Structure 1
Amino acid sequence: MKIIQASHLVKSFGAGDEKRNVLDDVSVEINKGEFVTVMGPSGSGKSTLLFVLSGMDGADSGKVSFDGKDLSSLKDNELADLRRTEMGFVFQKAALLSNLNILDNIILPSVRGNAKHTAKLTERAKGLMKKAGIEGLEERDLTQVSGGQLQRAGICRALMGNPNIIFGDEPTGALNSKTAAEIMDILAEINEDGTAILLVTHDAIVAAKSERILFMLDGKIASEMALPKFKGERLDERVEAVAAKMREIGI
C-alpha cells in the first residue's frame, strides 16, 4: 500500500536566465510503514522534495497523492488539518516556542480544535516524553535542556496526532554523533510501530539505518538503493555500501 504517490513533479526557482528546476520531473512512491532517506549535495532538491511531498509547498506541475488524496485539490484549511492529524514533522532545529515550557510546546499543535481534551492530550504527551527519555522535563524552559532533549521534544510533538508518516529535514544535523544515534534509535522504534519515515540527510550513517535511499542530483533522483531492515547488526558494512554508492553517483 502506498502512502505517497508523486508523479512528474517540477518546481522552479528564479526567473529568466536565472530560472532553474529544483525538481525536474521527479516521480516517487513511499509505502506505508517504509523508512526512506533522501541524500544529495546542497541544492540537489532533496529538501524541496520533502516540502512538496508533505504539502508544505506546492509544485509548479505534477501530482502528489497522500493516502489517495490529491494534495492540490485540498483547500488550505483541509491541507493544514491533514498535516496536523496524519503527518508529523521534525526539523534540524526543533521549532519550539521560547515562551512555553517543554510540555506545552509538545501539546500546543494538538490543542487546536481539541481544547476540551487538554487533559487527555497532556497524558499522551507525558507518555511520549517517557518513551523518548525526557520524562521529568515537562516544566523546563527551552534554555534549561540540551539540543538533543529539544529534538526529542520535537519528535514527541510530531507524534501527538498518531501520524501515518514522519517527515524529517536533517533531524540529526545539529547533534553530536552519540545524540544523533539516540535520535535515530527513537525514529527506528517509531517506524517499527508502523509509522512511515521520510528523512532528508547528508549523513551516510543515518541513511544506512533506513531501508531505501533516494539519491538526488541536479533536481532528479539519480539512483535508489534498497537495504534490509536494520536490526542492530554491524552498521559499518551498511555505511560503506552507502558511501560506495555515493562515490559511484558522484555525490
Structure 2
Amino acid sequence: MEMKKMITGINITKHYGSGDDKRNVLGGVSIEIKEGEFVSVMGPSGSGKSTLMFALSGMERIDGGRVTFDGRDLGTLAENELADLRRTGMGFVFQQPTLMKNLNILDNIILPSMRDNRRNAAGITEKARQLMQKVGIAELAQRDITQASGGQLQRAGICRALMSSPGIIFADEPTGALNQAAAQGIMNLLSEINAEGTAVMLVTHDATIAARTERIMFMCDGRIVSEMRLPKYSGKDIEGRVEKITAKMREIGI
C-alpha cells in the first residue's frame, strides 16, 4: 500500500543576514517524507542539513517556497499555531537533550505535556513511566539529570518526544555526543519507534548512523544533490551498508 505523504517541501529557500553579509543556506530544496519513513540527511558542516530540518518542522520560517505538514501549509500558521502543531504532531531529539536541572528525569519528561493537560496528571505520569520502562530507564525516574549518563539522558529526551504520540520524530545529530555503544543503543530505539509506525528524520554526519535508515539524502551547498535507498536494516551487514553510503559520497564529492 502506498504510504501517505506527511511532509512536502517545495522549492524551499532560506538565508541568514542581509546585504554583504547575506548567506543563502537553502537554495530551492524540494523534498517529501511519507508516513512511517526512516530518513537521514547527510552532508558536510554548513551544507544546510539542520536548517532543512528546522524548516520542515516550522522551527524556522522560510524565505521562499512552501512546506506542508499533513496538508497544512506551515507558512499560513501563526506562531502559536505552529507551536501547537509541533507539540502535538512532532517530536524532537537533539544532540544535547534540553533538560531542566531543577527537575528530576520523570518531571522533565512530563513537563511539556502537563502544560497542555494538567487535569490528566495521573495519566500523563503513567504514560511517561511506561515509556521509561520501554526505553530501559524506569529506575531513573526520581534522579536528577546530573545522576545519569549521556545515553540515559538521550533516552529521556526520546521519551519526552514520544509523549504526544507524534507522527514524526526529528532527530538532529542524536548520537553526536555519545560513545559508540550508547549511540547504537539510541539507534536501536529509534528503529523500534519507526517499526511501530512513527516516521523518523535524522540529521547526521556519521555513515554508520545513516546506514540504519532506509533513505539517505545528501546535501551540499544548500541543496539535495543525491539520494539513495537501502532495504530495511535487518541487524546484519552494517559494513556493507556503510560502504554503499561512503561510495556514494565519494561519487558526488562530499
> TM exceeds 0.5?
yes
Matched, 1:83 2:55: no
Counterpart code for 1:242: I
Aligned-pair CA distance for 1:12:
0.7
Q: How many residue pairs end up in the alignment?
A: 251
| Structure 1 position 247, deviation (Å) | 1.1
Instruction: From 44, 48, 53, give the equivalent of 1:50.
Output: 53
**Counterpart of 1:223?**
226
SS of match in other structure, 1:28: strand
Question: In structure 1, how many angstroms separate the alpha carbons of the residues matched to 2:85 and 2:51?
Answer: 19
Task: Look up the SS of the partner of 2:101 in the other structure.
Answer: coil
Q: What residue is the counterpart of 1:118 in the other structure?
A: 121
Is 1:183 the counterpart of 2:186? The answer is: yes
> Moved runs in structure 1, 4+ residues, more than 3 A?
none
CA RMSD of aligned residues (A): 0.7
TM-superposed CA distance for 1:188, in Å, is: 0.2
Alignment pair present for 1:107 and 2:134: no
* Amino acid in the other structure paired with 1:121: I
Q: Determine the C-alpha separation between the residues in 1 that align with 2:251 and 2:23.
A: 25
Aligned pairs (5 A) from 1:14-33: 14-33=17-36
Please tell me the residue identity of whatever aligns with 1:12: H
- 2:165 paired residue among 162, 166, 169: 162
TM-score by length of 2: 0.98
Cα distance between partner residues in 2 of 1:198 and 1:141: 29
Counterpart code for 1:114: N
Q: Does 1:70 align with 2:80?
A: no
> Structure 1 residue 236 and structure 2 residue 247: aligned?
no
| Whole-Å separation in 2 of the counterparts to 1:211 and 1:67 | 21
- Identity score, percent: 64
Q: Tell me by how many angstroms 1:17 deviates.
A: 2.7
- Match of 1:56, as an amino acid? M
Instruction: Name 1:11's counterpart in structure 2.
Output: 14
Deviation at 1:231, TM superposition (A): 1.6
TM-score, normalised with respect to structure 1: 0.99
Identify the residue that residue 205 of structure 2 maps to in structure 1: 202
Aligned residue identity for 2:148: V
- Shift in Å, 1:77: 1.3
AA of the residue aligned to 2:100: L
Query: What are the Cα deviations for residues 189-235 of structure 1, in whole angstroms up to 9, with x where unaligned?
Result: 00000000000001101100100011000000010011111121211
Query: Could you list the runs of 5+ residues in structure 1 that have no partner in the other structure?
Result: none
- Secondary structure, aligned partner of 2:68: strand
